[in-house]
Structure 1
Amino acid sequence: EEALQELMKSIEELGLLSPIKVRASGKDRYKIIYGNRRYKACLALGLPSIPCIISEAASEQEIYLEQIAENLTREGFTPIEEAEAFHKLMNDPRFSSSIKYLSSKLGKPESYIKNKLELLKFGQAVKKLVVSGTAIRKDKLTEDQLLPLKDLPLEHRDPLALIMARDEMPVSDVKKIARLFKSKDISASTKDKLLYKSGRELYETWSVYEQNRAERAKPAEPKAKSKAKEAPPAAQAEDTAQIASSTPHGRVESPVDPNQAVAAAPVETVKFPDIRPADALATESPASAQPSAANLSASDVAAPLLMQVEQLLAILEAAAAPTEQTMPESAQLSDADHARLRSDLERLTERLETELHGWRGVLQVLYSSTR
């Protein structure tokens, strides 16, 4: 009713800018193909006539296609309404259209129609949240947010979609979380447990899981290990010092099994029982690289690591995150700057989370060595 009043006001001030479309249904009688709201608004305004276009469409299919073509230009036509219209044209016995035929008639790529049809895989609770456009909004879903989840099983697909809507997850994060749930290394029961997490927690779980998967995928170096065993203690100590100084930020690159990975993330502990555990942390225990007191002191080995920690603390103190008071207002940023800032911050937080996990590994080794 409110929308109709706005339309009436617009027609009263500017006139009818776009004629309606009709088809002949008898002598001096016509049936509206599209423009029913415009017709009602003109009728309510008491206008004696209304401009219209008489369609030459002969079949019901052609008429329906004209209606869809008109609706595609209408702002209020949602992606789900589009999908349902395409589905009707393809599956209703009266039409039985192919995607290729619809593409040629409507001037839309076949991929556009296929993506719309994929939205119908989701349940009603998800469908009612779908909106047009690409802006991420709370408790709403864009087509770009939904499509990465379309191939997941129903029991994971819809709950994940609702989590993504609730937590306003960016499309890039949704894609990563979808990859986590597509992994064949993780059991269905574990994935069920992951559904109790928030969107941000799911992203953090993906980050830890991917890092440790990359660690386990690194090629083994048995020859290098055997040489290290034969080397004198002083040489081993020298190697340890070099590794500590050359590794970015002094991170200890030790493979961790998925159970430890999820536990390291600041979220609820979730086990990955069906993933083959990697080598234990003990493979890089400081004991295996302990120098002899005669050749190199413990402080000499620790010096590069201590220096890196102190440098990191100084950098973090100088580059502390801005407070709400010091943050620039969104209105002061151009669209390009806003998009770039958001993208850079996503990369920064992802990198920080990865490095945080590495330093936790260092701390874990230190705890183990003092027990």
Structure 2
Amino acid sequence: MTFKKINAWFHLWLGLASGIVVFVLGITGCILVFEQEIKSMTSPWLHAEKPDGGKYLPPSVLVNSLQKQVPGKEIESIWYHGEGRTAHLNMHESDSTAYVNPYTAEVVALVDHEDIFHFFKDGHYYLWFPKEIGHYVTGWGTLIFFLLLISGLILWWPKRWNKKGRDQSFKIRWRAKFKRVNYDLHNVLGFYSIILALIFAFTALMMSFTWFNNGVYWMAGGKNKPRLEAVSDTTTNIRSNVMVQVDKAWHKGIHEIAEHNPLEILMHFPEKASEAIYVCTDMFNGTWRDVYLDQYTLRELPASNKRVRDEDLASWIRRYNYGLHVGLVGGLPVKIIYFLASLICASLPVTGFYIWWGKKKKSAKKTKPRVI
């Protein structure tokens, strides 16, 4: 058996094995790429009108306002989303997310956090299986898809680079019979989307498998570092007021730590005396910076991330992986391109199955015995 036949066999059966996974990931990816834009248009509680002379209010003010409306609920975190947007607060053991005007402290809405996008994310991450099972189903399905892209490129490669060969590889014969059009949709569109499809698969594998993530990190020159715990020093000022310290950490995050989009900041409140105040800032192009502050001294702890510009190549790849996967690196034009590429990826199992089914029917006709 020649290499070409082995590769074709490999492409066929792995395609059949992973087809449903790839189709679901592609369709849900099309929807999720515009999640924020769709939410912005359909969810009025995400927007906040800024009054004349209005200024951002610190976390303690928004927390106090919310606790008056939902007494007894413990608030875990707050996320300021920038100018003209509400801040959202997460409550412990609650199905609702609170949206509060950061200029007036008015509680705008209490919304169930399991919206329609939660359904699509569950399909994209776990194929609607339980998390423990679905994580591996989508992960290994993505790995198979990655291998299929390579084998597909080999199958696509023209035998001859003359005009006929180029036309067959780069053009869709729209006026041909449906069977030929379907073949071209699989072959030609698969080629045009292959770079982005490889990016989708590669970045997904980085998030799915620790061994793959660590392997890429090592090949990029990264060195294993001990995991540092973010722990506050309880011997310094254990009687300090937590929300007073959170307000100070918020002010420090906006005015001293943040370099990009300083008004977009996420904070998680410490629940224990030894926990640090978590500050997430520099949300830019799909990356962010995790900063841990001692809740008593507000000293930045060693467990905090460096600024992206100070990272080595291996850490830079890890930090930008999510942004590359979801198309946050170039604004709306890139998202539109990602949408089209994801739609093509979803179509490949469908067109590929039809190619296989047509050959199977043709083969069955040839082997059908003649009646004498």
TM over 0.5: no
TM-score normalised by the chain length of structure 2: 0.19
Instruction: Compare the two structures and name the one with the higher strand fraction.
Output: 2
Instruction: Compare the two structures and name the one with the higher helix fraction.
Output: 1
* Structure ID, larger Rg: 1
TM-score normalised by the chain length of structure 1: 0.19
